[in-house]
Structure 1
Amino acid sequence: MTYAITYHSGYDKATQRIQTKATTPPIRRVRKLDETNKGRKRNPQGQTAICTITDATNGFLKTSFLPKLAETKTAQACKKTASLERDFYQSLSKLATHYNINPIHTQSFGFPYKIALALWNTKEKLKDKVRDWEEIKLVQDNNKTFFTSEERYNTNSTLYYIPVVPLYRLLKNKKRKHSAQLLLSVCSYLYHNVNIPYYRQGNSFLYYQYEMLKEWQLTDDDAEETSIYLREFEQAEYIGDKMEQKIFNTANLTFFKKRLNRFKGTEVFEQDCLKLAQEAYSLLEQYPNENVFRNARPNEEADENEEEIENILTMDYYVSFYADGKGWLNENIIQCVNNELQEYGQIEEPSILKRFDGSDITINNLDFENRLFALIGQLIYLLNNF
């Protein structure tokens, strides 16, 4: 289940004063980043057109074909056609077996139309069959032709920020004690096993954002307003430190199963907490050593130059614990984050690349990521709406 809400940028760090009059309405969902024309948005058909290099002998290998081949002259210029066809169909057979699909028979057609038709048909079948499928490519390496396939979890430019102030308040509510303990165990799992960053850690992205916003507020000429809003910073820091101590306590993991077994809540909120905790415990048992960054890759291959590498928005920027989903501080933190993230041209997301060149094919998939991000989204929703 996905909970997403869009918000608008336009926060000018150089000239615009931080808004201090408005109060953020209750946030009920995970926030969604503004769209930017710098990053590549996932094609809903799961395929990306690539311009043909007309002066290359095997230029058609770099083209996404349709049933009707437009690059006939370039394709017919290929040498060693028989070897290429053999490699192509051998690789296609391995890909079809791996994904359990049945490509159409195209050997009776002329070259290169047979390859174009097989490519198009395979893409259509993968799009319908494979969850998180992104694209296939036909590449040539050391005079050998083979397929590569990419599976990618699309985060939809969403901020997965888990608020800890609501959990702090929930733990102080005697009527919600057992529900709060379940969610505390879930947060400990996300902190220790999944390796979700925490905003009070000095090397985290959000730590810098909070500190920067605090410095800006200290330079505000309105002393009365500054005093009011600095109290929100103090609360975010104090509760953040207290909750990190609680979440860090591994006893929450030791007693996780015991808390599940003894839970007897009947209200809708309590049952939602139980289902969430059961899913988290299931992930803990099934993937005890997997973290959120295990398959992190940019949505495009970055060049080796330093500028391209620095232009990648890494996952720790949009997956983190943070203070609260309500109030002035939350509103301005989200504005600062949104403004910062618009500067990046690529986004890092969970992705798996498979090669069908005769080497061993990884059996890894993105089941963990699909379940994990759904769980984080549900956790955020519960903490913001109890």
Structure 2
Amino acid sequence: MESLSVIRKFYKKVGRNTRCGSRTGQPAAERTAGNVRHGFLKHRFLSFTGYNLPNRDKSEAEFFRSVKNLCDLYGLTEPDVSGLPFPENISAAHAELSEKLQEARGFGCYIMEDEKRRASLTTAKRYDTGYNLYYIPVRPMARIGEKPELKPLYNMMAMLLAYLLQVTKVSYYRDYGYVSSCYESIEEWINEEEGGDDGYHGAQIAELAEMKSFGDSFLHVLKKPFHKADFERAIAAYRKSACCEARPLEVAMEFQKLINDYPKRSLYDSIPAGYYGFNEFGVIDADQYLSFYWGGSDELNEVFFDMVNNDLQESGEQVEPVSLQWFDKPQEAEKHRFDFEPRLFPLLIELNNYLYEYDYAKKHH
């Protein structure tokens, strides 16, 4: 198909590079990442060479307390850096311990500060998102909304998606972001084409118009303040409705449990600022693999995923949630546990798989 080959002329216009990954129940899927722009955690990773500390003695003492605490937990010998001046002593001790931890446990350590700590060793482990795209299709909501008998389903799903937008901070394709920039590039290219007599070009134009008009109107729906009680009432109304089915009800109820346990939790709460540094091959940002997108027919969807796949496949690293353990105080055990993420991402896959049926099925209910 011509559009799939021609698209390669402009896919690099998309804002940030990323890397390909496997598919997650979607028409196509690759992984994505980029520089962390969301500083939800007020932590900083320090580089001590030449670093101007406001209280050197206090910071140096704190650091070496954390050295002892880390070595006590993992049974490591404390580095002997007594012959080195500040800050070389800290840099050398950190480098040695990080190498030992990497060999023994598969992860290193960092020098970090936050509102309470000035210079503490901290270990970090990453949650594996599977290098997948978690793209939530919006067009199915247009199809569901066309059927008055599915109004209870529409209301329940709209509130669920509002939670993902407002609380989990999933990017939306009609707001500024990576997916938005992809669609803008596609629209620019399509508008520059002369079109053909097979109707393919016209179908793309029509789909772009619907993508924008419904996407903008639905965004207003999603931005209405989310309240857990309203979502619970919507689930109850759907359960009593004639259109109730087990599958969407189960998905909604699992999200309800997640919201009860983590009412204000965002994915970005587990992505510390400064953890992901420069990578010469590019970094896949969270908004590049977790986002709402239009979905839609082959006329537009194939072009979209061809662009995304080409753009993301060269990146060297993906921004993923990170679990931190501070050693400013003695630690009795390793505490790298993920709780929110192992529940969120599988639920997103279940949600997407259900919505895709409305995106592609010719007959809904």
TM bucket (normalised to shorter chain) is 0.5 to 0.7
In the alignment, is residue 272 of structure 1 matched against residue 247 of structure 2? yes
- Partner of 2:173, secondary structure, is coil
Choose the corresponding residue for 2:130, options 146, 149, 156. 156
Contact 2:254 2:347 in 1 (8 A): yes
2:70 match: 91
Distance of 2:296 and 2:322 partners within structure 1: 29
Contact 1:164 1:322 in 2 (8 A): yes
- Partner of 2:323, secondary structure, is strand
1:380 match: 352
How far off is 1:233 after superposition?
Answer: 0.3
How far off is 1:119 after superposition?
Answer: 6.6
How far off is 1:216 after superposition?
Answer: 0.6
Distance of 2:158 and 2:173 partners within structure 1: 17
Contact 2:174 2:180 in 1 (8 A): yes
1:10-40 deviations in whole A, cap 9, x for unaligned?
A: 962259xxxxxxxxxxx953743179xxxxx
Higher relative contact order (CA 8 A, sep 6+): 2
In the alignment, is residue 215 of structure 1 matched against residue 188 of structure 2? yes
2:29 match: 32
Distance of 1:150 and 1:177 partners within structure 2: 45
1:282-309 deviations in whole A, cap 9, x for unaligned?
A: 2222222221211225997525xxxx49
Shift in alpha-carbon separation, 1:187–1:265, aligned structure 2, 3 A? same
Contact 1:313 1:346 in 2 (8 A): yes
How far off is 1:136 after superposition?
Answer: 4.6
Give the letter aligned to residue 315 of structure 1. Answer: A
Contact 1:32 1:156 in 2 (8 A): no
Contact 2:69 2:331 in 1 (8 A): no
Choose the corresponding residue for 1:352, options 323, 333, 354. 323
- Partner of 1:385, secondary structure, is helix
How far off is 1:267 after superposition?
Answer: 9.9
Shift in alpha-carbon separation, 1:214–1:344, aligned structure 2, 3 A? same
Distance of 2:157 and 2:145 partners within structure 1: 10
In the alignment, is residue 178 of structure 1 matched against residue 175 of structure 2? no
Number of residue equivalences: 286
Shift in alpha-carbon separation, 1:171–1:14, aligned structure 2, 3 A? closer
Note the residue ranges of structure 2 that are not aligned, 5 or more in a row: 12-23, 33-64, 78-96, 112-119, 359-365
Written as runs of structure 1 = structure 2, the 5 A alignment for 1:214-253 is 214-224=187-197, 225-250=200-225, 253=228
Distance of 1:294 and 1:349 partners within structure 2: 11
- Partner of 1:339, secondary structure, is helix
Choose the corresponding residue for 1:367, options 339, 362, 365. 339
Shift in alpha-carbon separation, 1:322–1:212, aligned structure 2, 3 A? same
1:129-169 deviations in whole A, cap 9, x for unaligned?
A: xxxxx625599xxxxxx975322111222111111110121
Written as runs of structure 1 = structure 2, the 5 A alignment for 1:51-66 is none
How far off is 1:355 after superposition?
Answer: 3.6
Choose the corresponding residue for 2:284, options 309, 313, 320. 313
Distance of 1:299 and 1:30 partners within structure 2: 33
The TM-score with structure 1 as length reference comes to: 0.61
Distance of 1:276 and 1:351 partners within structure 2: 26
Shift in alpha-carbon separation, 1:275–1:268, aligned structure 2, 3 A? farther
1:235-258 deviations in whole A, cap 9, x for unaligned?
A: 111111121122222367552111
Shift in alpha-carbon separation, 1:357–1:209, aligned structure 2, 3 A? same
Shift in alpha-carbon separation, 1:382–1:12, aligned structure 2, 3 A? same
After superposition, the CA RMSD in angstroms is 4.4
- Partner of 1:293, secondary structure, is helix
Distance of 1:214 and 1:29 partners within structure 2: 22
Of 267-276 and 318-327, the range deviating more from structure 2: 267-276
Note the residue ranges of structure 1 that are not aligned, 5 or more in a row: 1-7, 16-26, 36-85, 97-102, 108-114, 124-133, 140-145
Contact 1:138 1:147 in 2 (8 A): yes
Distance of 2:134 and 2:5 partners within structure 1: 18
2:298 match: 327
Give the letter aligned to residue 150 of structure 1. Answer: A
Distance of 2:296 and 2:234 partners within structure 1: 27
The TM-score with structure 2 as length reference comes to: 0.64
The alignment-based identity, stated in percent, is 24
- Partner of 2:70, secondary structure, is helix
How far off is 1:310 after superposition?
Answer: 9.4
Distance of 1:268 and 1:28 partners within structure 2: 24
- Partner of 2:319, secondary structure, is strand
1:127 match: none
Contact 2:135 2:290 in 1 (8 A): yes
Q: Which has the larger Rg? A: 1
Distance of 1:137 and 1:255 partners within structure 2: 44
